[in-house]
Amino acid sequence: MMSFLSGLNPEILATIMTEIRSNLHLPSTQALIVSELLRMARTGDSQGFRNVLSSLDGDNIGPFAAKLVSKLSLTPEGGVGSTMHHILALICSHWNNPLLGATVVLGSWNCSLETAQVVVRSLLTKNPKYEELILDLLTKIGARYAYKFNESEVNQIMEKVAQVPHKSQIIKRVTMLLIEHASFKERSRHVKKIYNIILNDAHTKNIAGVYLNWRNVMDEYPTILDHDLRVVSTVILSLLRSKQYHIIAQEIVEQIPESAYAHPFLVQPLLEYAFKRNDVGLANEIVRRLRQPVSKEVLSTLLKLNMRLGDYAGMESVMQQITKAGGMSQKDYETIVHGLLKRDDFLDAVTFTQNIPVHLSQGACLKLINHLINTKAQWEEPEFAVVESLLDKIQASAPVGSRQGKGFWNMVGSIYIKYLVKNFGRQGIRDARDIYERSVKDYTLKAYGASRPKDPLLETANISTNPFIVPVNRRDTIRLLIDDRSSGIIVRTIMDAAKRLKMTAVVNWALLSLVELGATPTEVKIDVTRKFNVHARKIGLREWDDEEKFQDLWDQGTIEFVKDGVLKDLSD
């Protein structure tokens, strides 16, 4: 798209630029002019770029930028685009507007590492109002440009971390960045930080990160029971989410002595492991050792295990215990619906779900919709009617934008993306990618939300509460509720589908998106290799030089389609 400043009559341009100069102290004006200059940089309009900046004069853009502008006409053609982006970064720094500078380097692929360095230094200045956003931008720049922070920069980042609320998710993401660049003198401090990374990776479903970081700390203590067992529990539960990591979960479980089977932090992951592996012997041993009274979480897992084994008498017994312990939970109702679906009682499952108390029905509703996606390639009116009734039920009690509905509507977004890529071929995959990109927050809008008019696209009311009924030709209007936790799931779903149809550009987009979401290139390589290579799934925790083995598998061509993606140009 051509900038509206390009090709204007010189007199008209002069009038416009006079007005801009008088308001250049306003962030909104700065954003406007940089946006237009970015368009010129992307289209290679160096003449228009020079004209606009010349009319701003050197005092307004800073001496370093002015010097580069004066030499722009002498720059070799291949370096003009990169130079224009570097000039914009210098201008943003001169304006003391680091957030705008970040939009330059994160919104373009034509920036050099030197340009990224200008923006990083600008972001590291004190800015209490935007510290959390700045930390987020620093992690994104670090991932995009494989930027190596020096000791001084790491110290400045740590100062910013101290200003951010303790519960902020960004702290966990920044911890990974700090570990890569800071030295650790105290073992306990090192282990604690790795624990935090593991917990964050588990939250964002980055299972390869959980696996690799557990390897980093598993030998720090003599036995597994010396570790924080809450972290051990999280590691096992995360690894059980994906079949390609079950061998790792098995190795960890085998280190746990029978005497610890009844530990409150270990009962649930051990039962989940028995559930996934159909290990009746382990399940019975855990149940035998359970102390009374049994927690509701453990009872819920036992209910699921009995359902898996087809022990309906056992299910009835556990349900009675759950009722005595305070009543059925959302997960308990979901388990019952899952059992009905396993017996092909779909209509009974729908009827049962409609009668679940509305505040406990979210999991069951999602289970039914996911079942339809897995079993019905083409939906007809009855399927759409069922989905609409389920979504309307939740919208009435936990609407989009409410705290109660956040998790549900995030999962609706993930399930809808799965529906698109499974049923609509290449076009569905492209639509899924576009909807994802439209739904996640735009850096510029996020940075200038306070100073610019609100974009209606960002209003909660515009999130699609039933995207399934939107016609194909109206999918460009769909916006889903997507947070950090569901982003990784969605990107991996799109990548898997694109890989099957050999859509190279989409796979490369997905690989880079995973890195930008916080996974390292090594983690993404391991995750992809385990997914698509049967030999990789057999590599355990204690095999020598695991990363080298994965690199060998990557290079052997067993996953030819993805091995030549953008990750080959990135390093940890």
Residues 186-209: pLDDT tens digits?
446 678 888 888 988 898 888 998
Which residue segment(s) compose the domain that 63 sits in? 10-123
Lowest mean pLDDT among 86-95, 171-180, 251-260: 171-180
Residue 79 lies in a domain: yes
Q: Is the pLDDT of residue 394 over 80?
A: yes
pLDDT confidence bin for 463, thresholds 50/70/90: confident
Residue 22 lies in a domain: yes
pLDDT digits (tens, 9 = 90+) for 305-314: 888 777 778 8
CB atoms within 10 A of CB 544: 6
Q: Choose the final residue of a domain: 74, 105, 123.
A: 123
pLDDT confidence bin for 391, thresholds 50/70/90: very high
Q: Choose the final residue of a domain: 326, 355, 379.
A: 326
Average pLDDT over residues 296-316: 81
Residue 569 lies in a domain: no
Q: What is the pLDDT of residue 183?
A: 44
Q: What is the pLDDT of residue 250?
A: 94
Residue 246 lies in a domain: no
Interhelix angle 381-397/346-354, rounded to 10 degrees, is: 20
Give 178 or 407, the one with higher predicted confidence.
407
Average pLDDT over residues 51-69: 80
Q: What is the pLDDT of residue 182?
A: 47
User: Cβ distance 436 to 493 under 8 Å?
Assistant: no
Residue 80 lies in a domain: yes
pLDDT digits (tens, 9 = 90+) for 208-225: 989 988 988 898 888 899
Q: Which amino acid is at 184?
A: F
Residue 43 lies in a domain: yes
The number of domains in the chain is 2
Q: Is the pLDDT of residue 334 over 80?
A: yes
Lowest mean pLDDT among 17-21, 25-29, 260-264: 17-21
d(CA 268, CA 233): 8
What whole-number percentage of the chain has pLDDT above 70? 84
Residue 390 lies in a domain: no
Q: What is the pLDDT of residue 447?
A: 43
d(CA 349, CA 387): 13
Average pLDDT over residues 265-294: 83
Q: Is the pLDDT of residue 255 over 90?
A: yes
Give 171 or 60, the one with higher predicted confidence.
60
Radius of gyration of the chain (CA): 27
Q: Which amino acid is at 201?
A: D
Q: What is the pLDDT of residue 445?
A: 47
Q: Is the pLDDT of residue 572 over 50?
A: no
Q: If you count them, how many residues does the chain have?
A: 572
Residue 321 lies in a domain: yes
State the alpha helices, DSSP H only, in 355-456.
362-375, 381-397, 406-423, 425-439, 443-447
Give 15 or 470, the one with higher predicted confidence.
470
d(CA 315, CA 309): 10
Peptide bond between residue 293 and the one before it cis (omega within 30 degrees of 0): yes
**Structure-block tokens of residue 77:** 């053609």
Q: What is the pLDDT of residue 175?
A: 66
Q: Choose the final residue of a domain: 75, 99, 123.
A: 123
